Amino acid sequence: MSEGLVQRRNAANSSSQWSHSASGSGWSTVGQTSEEQFVTSSMPVVSSRSDWYNANYDDADNFDDAKLARLTLMEEVLLLGLKDREGYTSFWNDSISSGLRGAILVELALRGRVSLEPCGLRSRPQLQMRKLVCVGANGQAPVGDALLDEALRHIRDMQPPETVPNWIEYLSGETWNPLKLRYQLRNVRERLAKSLVEKSVCGTEKQNFVLFDMTTHPLVDSEAKQRVLRKVQDCVLSRWQLDPQRIDRRCLALLYLAHASDVLENAFAPLPDEEYDLATKRSKALLQLDFDAEADKSGACPVLWAVAQAFVK
């Protein structure tokens, strides 16, 4: 993992249509309510767990479900890394593989399938020492996504449970323990790209690279990628909150995972210089938080903070 958050590319287009207005250098706190009030007021009346998930999956975007495909965190991270015309990620990016595995763990946590083991009454172990476990009956039920179901099955079968940093290594295949290689998730990028094709976000082409042919997935629905870009930008600009617990969980997770996958620059590069500097400053502030303290706060998602801490070095 390279040091620092991002470095500005010289080719950034300062007049991009994705730029947003930032209110000077101040942090917006107008109209804020507590997290409990926000959740209570925004939670719709539903009849089943699947209905609740469909209603809250991407609540921050407030899109019409009938018209727009819902993207998982993994797909959004990959979409940020994919080159629009070429349809593949940078050959020099060696971080996106582990970043996508971290996104899988956060996605399972946000769907209520996994969490960190509770702290004892006398001892409160560090975030990186707490084990990842399935959550009751939810942890036994399939998610409906092949990639997530495979990861959930591995977590459920692991005895004794392992920590989040270990799971990122196991799912990535970056472990020296040969007994743990069976937990590796293979062809994650290819499987996610096919999912984007099925959702009509990307297409499929064959490209020749002299020595070999490679299947690529160029962007088809540019609006879908713009929505992801705006989500990341708004998280640190127009929707910025002083308290990280007030930031939409999925937006906050996407910001950390984009940093872990070394694709955050792709979201900030189109911004004008002033907004770019502000977004970078606030992103660095999020990376310098006390993750253990944030995970202990009421209503927090401990897995999200454990994954963030695993990548922030």
In angstroms, rounded to a whole number, what is the distance separating the alpha carbons of residues 35 and 57?
17
pLDDT at position 53 is: 39
- To the nearest 10 degrees (0 to 180), the angle between helices 73-81 and 96-110 is 150
The candidate with the shortest Cα–Cα distance to 165, out of 232, 260, 89, is 260
Residue-level pLDDT, tens digit, the chain, 313 residues: 444 444 454 444 433 433 443 433 333 333 444 333 333 333 333 333 334 334 444 443 443 343 456 899 999 999 999 999 998 898 888 899 999 999 999 999 999 999 999 876 556 678 989 999 999 888 888 899 999 999 999 999 999 999 999 999 999 998 888 889 999 999 999 999 999 999 999 999 988 777 778 889 999 999 999 999 999 999 999 999 999 999 999 999 999 999 999 999 999 999 999 999 999 999 999 999 999 999 999 889 999 999 999 998 6
pLDDT of residue 122: 59
CA–CA distance, 91 with 111 (Å, rounded to integer)? 32
**Tokens standing for residue 79:** 């979409």
pLDDT of residue 187: 93
* Omega cis (within 30) before 160: yes
Domains assigned to the chain? 63-312 (1.10.3630.10)
pLDDT of residue 106: 97
| CA pair distance 274, 47, nearest whole angstrom | 46
Alpha helix stretches (DSSP H) within 199-248: 222-236
Question: What's the rounded Cα separation, in Å, for the pair 27 and 25?
Answer: 7
Contact 86, 216 (CB under 8 A): yes
What is the rounded CA–CA span in Å between residue 47 and residue 293? 35
